[in-house]
Structure 1
């Protein structure tokens, strides 16, 4: 039996670990001729208090996410990968990635970095990657090393 991935989600947030996850996801998607879904979740809980004073913060976060994903999409396509989607979503990354998006996209693999940008949240309530591993119904690859490290 040969395991072949068809729908891959890679969660990126601008951290170096998510960049490593992206690089490894591109390689896996190419080897499997899979669809690569580049995802950034804008955590609405982080902006709730700040938005009372600055309404443009959500717009700036969305613009940053789109620019980041567009850059990653171009990089993936430059390697010869043909099926690349970008998704910017709002909500809790912990539930959006492993439950909502994985079901909607019928994902068979989720790839994420071992750590991300939000150290305070990780300390207080656990990491996004930890939650994905616990709650996903498909395979999960948590990336801890750069692409070129063995």
Structure 2
């Protein structure tokens, strides 16, 4: 069986998040390694909803809410027996951050990712993050349905 060092679980609050987290917890426990739980914010996606500009207060509140949710995920992983769990919020393109930048910086050997966090129309327009990660990742990828 493949042994992985440092598991990355990118989460976005979609329906797939719980399944991704549960699988990543199992893999991290089995490998006795660190679990990095990551949320990537792409500011452009929020600017459209706020008339083209996003104030610092809106971003601060958004990050605060996300960090609160990530702390809940962290506690869940710790309660399940994962000893080393770190949470991260990053700004940028989710495709490149998840597939390359973050795993290189944190030496993640495996990315556990959900099938999608977007609806069908969004996937057609911008492409699936999961598809991109599968093709471009510097690490192995485990897709959770």
Task: Establish whether TM, by shorter chain, passes 0.5.
Answer: yes
Corresponding residue of 1:29:
28
Shift of 1:28: 0.5
Tell whether 2:86 aligns with 1:85.
yes
> 1:34-70, CA deviations, whole angstroms, 9 ceiling, x for partnerless residues?
1100000011121234275552332222112101110
Coordinate RMSD, CA, aligned: 1.6
Corresponding residue of 1:140:
141
Q: Is the 8 A contact 1:10 1:25 kept in 2?
A: yes
Corresponding residue of 1:147:
none
- Distance in 2 between the 1:69 and 1:119 partners? 26
3-state SS, counterpart of residue 86 of structure 1:
strand
Corresponding residue of 2:65:
64
Question: Which one is further off, 49-58 or 122-131?
Answer: 49-58
Q: Is the 8 A contact 2:8 2:111 kept in 1?
A: yes
3-state SS, counterpart of residue 66 of structure 1:
helix
Scaled by the length of structure 1, the TM-score of the pair is: 0.88
Q: Is the 8 A contact 2:47 2:53 kept in 1?
A: no
Scaled by the length of structure 2, the TM-score of the pair is: 0.91
Shift of 1:91: 0.7
Moved over 4 A (4+): 51-54, 117-120
- Distance in 2 between the 1:102 and 1:126 partners? 21
Q: Is the 8 A contact 2:74 2:87 kept in 1?
A: yes
> 1:119-143, CA deviations, whole angstroms, 9 ceiling, x for partnerless residues?
5432212111111001102110110
Work out the number of aligned pairs and report it. Answer: 143
3-state SS, counterpart of residue 87 of structure 2:
strand
> 1:83-127, CA deviations, whole angstroms, 9 ceiling, x for partnerless residues?
000000001101111110010011110011101146543221211
Could you list the runs of 5+ residues in structure 1 that have no partner in the other structure? 145-150
Could you list the runs of 5+ residues in structure 2 that have no partner in the other structure? none
